[in-house]
Structure 1
Amino acid sequence: MDRRRKIIGYLVALTAAAVQVVGGAGPASADDRGDPRDEGAVIFRGKGIDACQAPSLNTLSAWESSPYEAVGVYFGGRARACPNQHYLSRRWLTGAKDLGWRVLPVYVGSQSPCVSASHKRGFSISDDEPWDQGIEEGEDAVRRASALGIASRSPIYLDMEAYNYRDADCARVTLSFIRGFSRAVGHLGYIPGFYSSANAGVRHMDNARRDGRSSLPEVMWFARWRVSPSTTGEPNLGSRAWTPHRRIHQYAGNVTETYGGRTLNIDRNQIDAPVAIIR
């Protein structure tokens, strides 16, 4: 099936799904999605880490003495900084689960054309078909997650590094890609999440919410460092938006910590959001 027929098939299926929403009003907005647990999600509230490489199971075992109980895992995407994940596998995910760790699956796909980080500029979203590209990468994310034993109703967090959302053309392309990605991930039974800087991508998403845009991510993971950890009170998010249990605050980055004789360079996160369901 060629790309055009594939996209048309998506739109037909998604239009039919939207009609089934109560009152025929279409997908719920970021203000009124309700509790993700009602949709089969598993929620974790507490502290977590993310690291470029998935830590070994021995390290996770040693870190049981830490205040952290969740770990972000970069499982796929063309712009992933650490593509050679030495430990990440179905066995690793099962082992992490058995040790009591919750998992946040992160997909680092194509990046905004006006991304700030120079090392991400070689992975730009296409200006021509950003929606289609978002759908294709959303499908890829679901395939990779499923192959690792991450079940439906798990979140998939799209990592979009900071970009200049005030550039109107760039913002249009980036938003179209994000919406396509979110639409595909949601249609395939997973929960579309989004990670970015609070002052860039996250603010852009909240502006889109205020404008009434549909197909936005359902969970918001915002980076704002050097402040107290909190999933509430973020100034770039509406107070009711992405609630309840739909927020993660990355409050510190590139810090080194040691527990049980094992040292990791990590980012710190305060979590009140869905985590992976491991088969």
Structure 2
Amino acid sequence: MVAKRQVVRRLTVFGSCLAVLLVGLAAPAAAEPETPVVYPSGSTATRADRLGFDTCTAPSLTALQAWRGTSPYSAVNIYFGGNNRGCAQPNLTKAWVRDVTAAGWKLLPTYFGYQPSCMFGDKPHRYTASNATSRGTSDATDAVAQAKALGLLAGSALYADVEHYDRTDSTCRTAMRRYVSAWTKTLHGAGYLAGVYVHQNSGLLDLSDSYDSTTYARPDAVWMARWDGSPSLTGWPTAPNSHWSVFQRAKQYEGDHKETWGGVTINIDSDVLRAPVASVARTYEVTSTTSLNARSGPSTSTSVVRTYAPGASLSVVCQGSGQKVGTTEVWDRLTNGAWVSDYYVSTPSDTGFSAAVPRCVYPGQVTTSSLNARTGPGVSFPTTGSPLRRGALAYVMCQKSGSTVGSTSVWNKLRDGRWVTDRHVSNRSNTTWSSPVPRCR
């Protein structure tokens, strides 16, 4: 991480206020440890399942273009803010984010803010148990502002860099947990997922120990440093496989070294990701010969909220399923939250989903010890696959009425096509629909 280039190697919540500002949205339904994310309409979570690398200064677009077709990597971190960030970022602009994403790179946004008072190294800005909550809140608030300035949409996962620290200091361990809890709740209130970069022998161990604690909000994803050369996301010695188990893990498996691809040499750490990353809009054009209606849902039966002229540019966030139009059932969600049929948009496919565009998903953490997934929206449908464990991210695509479980008859269709009752998924409501998740057809 960035600290290695300058120092010894390491090695409350405003969510409820924001929800009030978002007109017509129900209040969050749960508290610690599974706090809900208040997703705005023009948002989605994006997942990555690939190799990546991190480096102190964001590489130039030219360097990444040289690496894209020749290296094994297709994800890269960006140090997008924080008062302990040590490297200059001459390349890191909104245009760079747009162009790098368009070139096929996934981005792992990393925020290097306040550090535990017992951190190994000489970073100057630190927190204690008495101010960790306020530091976590202020860092997360700034991270959201910096992310928005770069075009990182709500639904993105933002990762707080928590450097290796002395676990013999119990007060410092408490401070770290308070900081991460405040970071998590504040990001959730602003519509972002909360990730944390941690050392396997300090931050990961302490967060895993408090995984089920009702005192601290649990982050959505962990990025663990263990330089053992193994790109494995299971079998970690300081966190069981049941913790952060569904596209919620990344690992930095090789430390500081140089690699050359396409004639370009970069000093990097190597990573493997199966985790949420940044969501970035992609620009396409209207291909219809008449004006294209943008609607409140993925169906021509929903209301028209805007029209776009032929050839107009569209900022596409993600794709979901809806009413068939022409040759496709795919609909595109725009940054303003509206939907347009993909049949009239210049995405790579007009018959199915386009690989370059993420699916529309709105994850919430599972709130029960074991949640069965089923083949349909009801308890009469057979279970399928492994149950989701507590804290796992349920990547919800859409919602539909089904059999009543507890206080709700709402069921969630997941990214993998399975169904779970909404009763045990942390989102804005566990009694009714949760905006901006669309209804399933």
Which residue does 1:56 correspond to in 2?
60
CA contact (8 A) 1:18 1:27 kept: no
Could you say what secondary structure the match of 2:14 adopts?
A: helix
Pick the structure with greater CA Rg. 2
Q: Aligned-pair distance for 1:54? A: 0.1
Which residue does 1:70 correspond to in 2?
75
CA contact (8 A) 2:178 2:216 kept: no
Q: Aligned-pair distance for 1:236? A: 1.0
Q: Provide the aligned length of Structure 1 versus Structure 2.
A: 259
Q: Deviations over 1:227-256 (max 9, x none)?
A: 311111112112211120000011001010
Unaligned runs of 5+ in 2: 1-11, 38-42, 282-441
Asked if 1:112 is matched to 2:116, the reply is yes
The one of the two structures with greater contact order (alpha-carbon pairs below 8 A, sep at least 6) is 1
The answer to which structure has the higher strand fraction is 2
Q: Aligned-pair distance for 1:95? A: 1.1
Which residue does 1:150 correspond to in 2?
152
Which residue does 1:186 correspond to in 2?
188
Asked if 1:44 is matched to 2:25, the reply is no
Could you say what secondary structure the match of 1:180 adopts?
A: helix
Which residue does 1:251 correspond to in 2?
253
CA contact (8 A) 1:113 1:125 kept: yes
Q: Aligned-pair distance for 1:78? A: 0.5
The amino acid across from 2:185 in the alignment is R
Unaligned runs of 5+ in 1: 1-6, 34-38
Of all paired residues, the percent bearing the same amino acid is 33
Partners of 1:225 and 1:74 in 2: how far apart?
A: 20
Q: Aligned-pair distance for 1:208? A: 1.2
- 1:146/1:11 CA distance change after superposition, 3 Å: closer
Q: Deviations over 1:147-185 (max 9, x none)?
A: 110000000000010011331111112211111111101
Of 121, 125, 128, the match for 2:127: 125
Could you say what secondary structure the match of 1:209 adopts?
A: coil
The amino acid across from 1:177 in the alignment is Y
The answer to which structure has the higher helix fraction is 1
Partners of 1:240 and 1:278 in 2: how far apart?
A: 30
- How do 1:132-143 residues align onto structure 2 when only pairs under 5 Å count? 132-143=134-145
Q: Aligned-pair distance for 1:71? A: 0.2
CA contact (8 A) 1:18 1:26 kept: no
Q: Deviations over 1:116-157 (max 9, x none)?
A: 12x22x111144322112111100000000011000000000
